Structure 1
Amino acid sequence: MSVLISILAFVVTIGILVTFHELGHYWVAKRCGIKVLTFSIGFGKKLLSWQRGETTWQLAAVPLGGYVRMLDERERPVTPEELPRSFNQQHPLKKMAVAAAGPVANLLLALLFYWVLFVSGVTTLKPVLADVTAGSVAQQIGLRAGDRIDAIGNRPVNTWDDLAENLIDSASKHEPFDIAVHSQSGDVTLPVDPARTSLGEIDANLIDRFGISPLPITTVIGQVAPDSAAAQADIKAGDRIVSLNGKPLQSWSALQQAVAHYPIQPVQLVLDRHGEHISKTVTPHEIVVKGQHIGQLGLAPRLDEARWKAQQMQLRYGPVDAIGAAATKVVDTVKFILQMFGRMIVGHVSVKQIGGPVTLADLAGRSAEMGLLPFIENLARISLSLAVLNLLPVPLLDGGHLMYHTAELVTGRPVPERVQAFGMRLGLAFIAGLMALALYNDFFRLISG
């Protein structure tokens, strides 16, 4: 069922974002007096089409984009009476407006989505550490469960999303930064030096490797996977793990770390089941994660419901205030995307963060399963990513067209066709390489679980 949901959510996501993007091009082209011949959602073989006015609207077989084809004498003969409506005959400013309209439409769509979210009320998490992994970087620098993060670097932290984004941003600079913390003993500032701290690659898993979590998990078992090592040992949901190999268990993360080191080696667990202590010998199954052989019991923890409820907070604004909040969110997100892309180019951020259709479908499916508002939030993020990607100065993308039209505005003549043809080959090579990398990352994520 989850695969079907992911596929449907992916189709809906692409359909909404691409349609709105192309509508931006279409709307501005029509306002500039340009004749639009075809409005297509998807590429390749035409599946469905209909005529509306002078434009053919169609759905095509490959749902990974779309296009608006305009009258252009470089592509086909144009009658003298229609020549003023040909795209290539327009003033460079009009051409620039048409090229920029698609990404701008995606920015406006994200703004609308965030406005809806802020008016409806967004449930988010406080920047409070519910768990700090034993032996992790976070514990080594002095962070403890219950601490509240107030700022990272020079950026304030108000939610867990702020915490995650600011930590990734600060670490990706590869320069020392401070974490402002409110703890039980008072306010402290903890220094972090990425050059001397083993944080690994700068990617979406940085928070986990740093060793912090907003989830107030307990040592009570919430789920037991079928056919797992735990199930074979008759361990049940509701059992509380008291000790591991004779040592009291302090946290679930301590259990995970210990078991990971014992693939195919028996471990001794003492469980509290309805007030009675039961001893179990369990042999963890061996799994391979990113080339490493680790042990796995097949257990999931139970959340402390009271603490989990206290960890949540809701952001809600009035219709007018939500406009400013949404605009701020859009600007901050675009800045973050650009910063991460720039640092990816210089090697400070892992290129493994580039995802393809499988990753997009997975994100869409997960957000859809969580509900309408999480799905809308995911749409907003992807819409902004699509806008930024299309504004890159790469031929074939909208940013590449903007570059050509700007050159025409400055020089007073169009960029020579041989230069455009060469640029098209470079752009095609860039996009093909980017897609190959994205598909490779998708495949690697699938085989690594």
Structure 2
Amino acid sequence: MTLLHTVVAFLVALALLVVVHELGHYLVARWCGVKVLRFSVGMGKIVYSRKIGPDQTEWALSALPFGGYVKMLDAREQDISAIPPEDLKREFTRQSVWKRIAIVAAGPLANFLLAIAVFAGLYNYGIPEPAARLRAVPEKTSAYEAGLRGGELVTSVNGEAVKIWTDLRWKVMQLALEGEPAKLGVQRTDEGAGSTSETVSIRLDGLTTADLEGDFLAKLGIDMARPKAVLGKIVPDGPAMHAGLREGDVIHAVDGRPVLDGLAFVEIVRASPGKSIRIDGERAGGPFTLAVAPESYEHNGQTIGRIKAEVPLAPEMVVARESLLPALGKAVGKTWDTSVLTLKMLGKMLIGEVSWKNITGPITIADYAGQTARIGIISYLTFIAFISISLGVMNLLPIPVLDGGLLLYYSLELLTGRAIPERIGELAQRAGVGILMTLMAVAVFNDIIRLMS
């Protein structure tokens, strides 16, 4: 069922993205007066089609689900000798270069508009996300040197408001790519002293581009706050019950070492299979000390410890909700920032600063589609928005056979006043196909490596 769920989630996302992209081409082509012969979802052999409208446009489903196309009346692809004169005026190559640019650019633009619409809808609806509150900060890290200790709530990054953890991570990543310091506006809550606000500056020049591919915030000493180590449900006949632990127990220390929060306690237990550990805690306002031996358990090829007791780890949650116009503005900004970041990462990939292992193909995308769909509709829609942006950016790259390659041709035509010679166009198309096939081979190879590991 998990595989089926993943396949369905992937095909739904892919179909939506393809339809939106091709609808962009189709609608602008019709607006510019170009005759559209076929609108296909999928490539290859047509398995179903139906002709609709005054132009009898063929709406088709094709065998291969990866992609789609809009086929227009085009003298380069078909014999137009028998075409009526009124239809010749609607042939693609007879249109002005500005109309051709508009038609080609409409596909990627539609992908960006889809992302903006999805983000705006989510921001307006309200997204429950972890608050940007910090966990205890390790010593000898950039965050510790900046004066952060843990428990602070981050309210802004370089003057831009922050409400949720993903906003914090996103803004710090952008600054790290630019090599600029992150100025965090934080709120501290001190018992008896109330809440105070201040700004701390964290240097990011110690981060490498390779660090950004992983948990770069942890390298800075920044992590998401977790609740205290308070035990939840105790499983009958488990190590926790036999040791005398009870629901509601607060864990303060293990083997004399302070326990920062629930996650720290879980990590200690996991690292102690078959080993007795001494727990100091609090129960009903009074202290207690007892020993428990986590049982050994095989998980993903590793032996870990467990005591069969629930430890709530859910962070503090907030709902980030905006009214319609601010949500739309925030969505436009998010789409723009994501597009720029994608281009920067591609550029760093070309000069070797970012590993080519980051190129993902259909297998990884399908896996993410399934994972986000299982988490919930908000995660799934967010995934679709990000993939739509990636599709828009990739199609605008100046590679022949992509929309960006055609836009490059037409831009040169504007500058020179002449169309690109047909022979040069053919050679460029072959080179473009070679580039795309190479990228696809790298992506599939990376997908297989991820799957095996």
- Secondary structure at the aligned position of 1:49 is classed as strand
- Secondary structure at the aligned position of 1:312 is classed as strand
1:327 alignment partner AA: V
Cα deviations by residue, 1:65-123 (Å, 9 ceiling, x for unpaired): 11112222222211253433322232211211110010111122222223322332333
> What is the aligned partner in structure 2 of residue 113 from structure 1?
118
Q: Aligned in 2, Cα 1:248/1:170: closer, same or farther, shift over 3 Å?
A: same
Which one of the candidate residues 294, 302, 308 is aligned to 2:311?
302
* 2:434 counterpart of 1:425: no
1:187 alignment partner AA: E
Shift of 1:215: 5.0
Partners of 2:179 and 2:326 lie apart in 1 by 36
Given that 1:263 and 1:285 are in contact with CA atoms closer than 8 Å, whether structure 2 keeps it comes out as no
Query: Whose Rg is larger?
Result: 2
> What is the aligned partner in structure 1 of residue 222 from structure 2?
212
Shift of 1:163: 0.7
- The two structures have a TM-score, normalised by structure 2, of 0.80
Q: Aligned in 2, Cα 1:442/1:28: closer, same or farther, shift over 3 Å?
A: same
Partners of 2:209 and 2:143 lie apart in 1 by 10
> What is the aligned partner in structure 2 of residue 312 from structure 1?
318
Partners of 2:399 and 2:290 lie apart in 1 by 64
Given that 1:201 and 1:349 are in contact with CA atoms closer than 8 Å, whether structure 2 keeps it comes out as no
> What is the aligned partner in structure 2 of residue 191 from structure 1?
202
> What is the aligned partner in structure 2 of residue 51 from structure 1?
51
Q: Aligned in 2, Cα 1:413/1:198: closer, same or farther, shift over 3 Å?
A: closer
Q: Aligned in 2, Cα 1:337/1:32: closer, same or farther, shift over 3 Å?
A: same
> What is the aligned partner in structure 2 of residue 31 from structure 1?
31
Partners of 2:234 and 2:5 lie apart in 1 by 24
* 2:89 counterpart of 1:89: no
Q: Aligned in 2, Cα 1:329/1:301: closer, same or farther, shift over 3 Å?
A: farther
- Secondary structure at the aligned position of 2:335 is classed as helix
Given that 2:273 and 2:293 are in contact with CA atoms closer than 8 Å, whether structure 1 keeps it comes out as no
Given that 1:217 and 1:303 are in contact with CA atoms closer than 8 Å, whether structure 2 keeps it comes out as yes
Partners of 1:294 and 1:142 lie apart in 2 by 37
Cα deviations by residue, 1:228-270 (Å, 9 ceiling, x for unpaired): x989x9999968666545534333554576678x698846364
Given that 2:164 and 2:320 are in contact with CA atoms closer than 8 Å, whether structure 1 keeps it comes out as no
2:78 alignment partner AA: R
Between 28-37 and 167-176, the greater mean CA deviation after superposition: 167-176
1:17 alignment partner AA: L
Which one of the candidate residues 55, 70, 73 is aligned to 2:72?
70
Given that 1:179 and 1:192 are in contact with CA atoms closer than 8 Å, whether structure 2 keeps it comes out as no
2:64 alignment partner AA: V
Shift of 1:421: 1.9
Given that 2:47 and 2:63 are in contact with CA atoms closer than 8 Å, whether structure 1 keeps it comes out as yes
Matches within 5 A, 1:168-317: 168-174=173-179, 176-184=181-189, 187-195=198-206, 201-203=211-213, 205-220=215-230, 243-255=253-265, 266=275, 268=277, 270=279, 278-282=290-294, 296-297=304-305, 302-303=311-312, 308=316, 311-317=317-323
Partners of 2:343 and 2:246 lie apart in 1 by 45
Between 392-401 and 350-359, the greater mean CA deviation after superposition: 350-359
Partners of 1:73 and 1:199 lie apart in 2 by 47
Partners of 1:46 and 1:201 lie apart in 2 by 46
Given that 2:252 and 2:282 are in contact with CA atoms closer than 8 Å, whether structure 1 keeps it comes out as no
**Percent of aligned pairs with the same amino acid:** 34
- Secondary structure at the aligned position of 1:62 is classed as strand
> What is the aligned partner in structure 1 of residue 401 from structure 2?
396
* C-alpha RMSD of matched pairs (Å): 3.9
- Across the two proteins, how many residue pairs are aligned to each other? 435
Given that 2:275 and 2:293 are in contact with CA atoms closer than 8 Å, whether structure 1 keeps it comes out as yes
2:312 alignment partner AA: L
Given that 2:188 and 2:197 are in contact with CA atoms closer than 8 Å, whether structure 1 keeps it comes out as yes
Which one of the candidate residues 132, 154, 163 is aligned to 1:127?
132
Given that 1:110 and 1:383 are in contact with CA atoms closer than 8 Å, whether structure 2 keeps it comes out as yes
Partners of 2:348 and 2:9 lie apart in 1 by 31
Partners of 2:451 and 2:75 lie apart in 1 by 46
- Secondary structure at the aligned position of 2:67 is classed as strand
* 2:380 counterpart of 1:378: no
- The two structures have a TM-score, normalised by structure 1, of 0.81
Shift of 1:398: 0.7
1:315 alignment partner AA: R
* 2:336 counterpart of 1:328: no
Cα deviations by residue, 1:210-236 (Å, 9 ceiling, x for unpaired): 4433352443467999xxx989x9999
Partners of 1:437 and 1:236 lie apart in 2 by 52
Q: Aligned in 2, Cα 1:72/1:234: closer, same or farther, shift over 3 Å?
A: farther
Between 208-217 and 432-441, the greater mean CA deviation after superposition: 208-217
Partners of 1:172 and 1:224 lie apart in 2 by 46
> What is the aligned partner in structure 2 of residue 7 from structure 1?
7
Partners of 2:294 and 2:159 lie apart in 1 by 48
Shift of 1:10: 1.1
